[in-house]
């Protein structure tokens, strides 16, 4: 039995490199604002390689989506164990709200990315996305996750307003993004973030929607139609992650 049905919209979202890259872009912005981001600095892995750390998180989520239930549970349990190891080393506990925030990002940006690149999702499809990731949260024993999608929408807004702030860690991470990506790719990342993140995050990071990014998306969709999209991707994606990103494409 699969953790996520083979016909689920969640598989379609997480089976395309395009939507995953926008999920990544949104998470990269919001990670940098989270009040608990100091936990990710504790091991030194995040500031040393923030893009690799975020890809790791995305890959864990993707493994869960495309695994049988037993294997998905093993992946989720391994994620929980890794966090416990960090807690033991630091001698304190990661706040429950920090776990919820990461889970909420995966839910929100899954929906936002697909709608930006493909089409509007129905309420039923959005609920399906929510309940798949809610099951992940329940398995991780994350406390007080709302039962319904509508309750989650309200909780997501509350958490965004309460748990995010621009800090020294925000500055460090964005400097690292720029260092790792170079000016042009960093500029494209910022444009993508301006299209995908919620209004509150845009305000904190001084992002805004861009006509340039809208045109890039339109051109890209045309290259997909012509089946030459990977030529464009190869010119703008980080070289060291290119093969890994290409392997993300299951559904075309």
Percentage with pLDDT > 90 across the chain:
46
Radius of gyration of the chain (CA): 17
In the predicted structure, residue 247 carries a pLDDT above the cut 80: no
On the question of pLDDT at 234 being above 90, the answer is: no
This prediction has a pTM of 0.89
Task: Please give the residue that has the higher pLDDT: either 249 or 149.
Answer: 149
Structure confidence at residue 190 (pLDDT): 93
pLDDT band at 68 (very low <50, low <70, confident <90, very high): very high
**Paired strand residues for 34:** 164
pLDDT value of residue 158: 92
Cβ atoms of 174 and 33 closer than 8 Å: no
Among the residue ranges 29-33, 120-124, 238-242, the one predicted with the least confidence is: 238-242
Least confident of 33-42, 148-157, 240-249: 240-249
Cβ atoms of residues 10 and 128 within 8 Å:
yes
pLDDT at 117 over 80: yes
pLDDT at 242: 59
State the burial class of residue 166 (Cβ atoms within 10 Å of its Cβ: 0-12, 13-18, 19+): middle
Inter-CA distances, 173 with 14, 40, 41, Å: 25, 11, 10
Instruction: Measure the N-to-C terminal CA separation of the chain; round to a whole number of Å.
Output: 24
3 state SS of 121? coil
Residue 211 pLDDT exceeds 70? yes
d(CA 36, CA 32): 9
Q: What is the pLDDT of residues 190-201, one digit of tens each?
A: 999 999 999 999
pLDDT of residue 96: 84
Please give the average per-residue pLDDT across 67-84, as a whole number.
91
């Amino acid at each position: 039995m699969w953790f996520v049905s083979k016909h689920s919209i969640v598989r379609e979202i997480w089976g395309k490199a395009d939507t995953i890259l926008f999920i990544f872009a949104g998470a990269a912005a919001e990670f940098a604002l989270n009040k608990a981001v100091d936990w990710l600095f504790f091991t030194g892995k995040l500031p040393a390689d923030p893009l690799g750390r975020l890809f790791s998180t995305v890959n864990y989520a993707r493994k869960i989506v495309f695994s049988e239930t037993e294997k998905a549970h093993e992946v989720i349990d391994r994620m929980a164990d890794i966090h416990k190891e960090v807690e033991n080393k630091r001698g304190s506990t990661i706040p429950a709200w920090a776990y919820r925030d990461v889970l909420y990002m995966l839910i929100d940006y899954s929906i936002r990315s697909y709608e930006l690149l493909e089409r509007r999702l129905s309420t039923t499809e959005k609920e399906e996305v929510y309940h798949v990731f809610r099951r992940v949260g329940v398995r991780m024993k994350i406390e007080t996750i709302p039962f319904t999608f509508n309750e989650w929408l309200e909780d997501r807004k509350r958490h965004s307003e309460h748990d995010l702030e621009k800090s020294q860690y925000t500055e460090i991470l964005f400097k690292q993004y720029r260092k790792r990506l170079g000016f042009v790719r960093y500029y494209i990342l910022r444009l993508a973030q301006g299209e995908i993140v919620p209004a509150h995050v845009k305000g904190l990071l001084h992002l805004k929607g861009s006509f340039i990014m809208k045109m890039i998306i339109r051109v890209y969709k045309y290259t997909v139609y012509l089946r030459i999209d990977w030529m464009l991707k190869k010119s703008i994606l980080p070289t060291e992650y290119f093969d890994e990103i290409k392997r993300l494409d299951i559904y075309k």
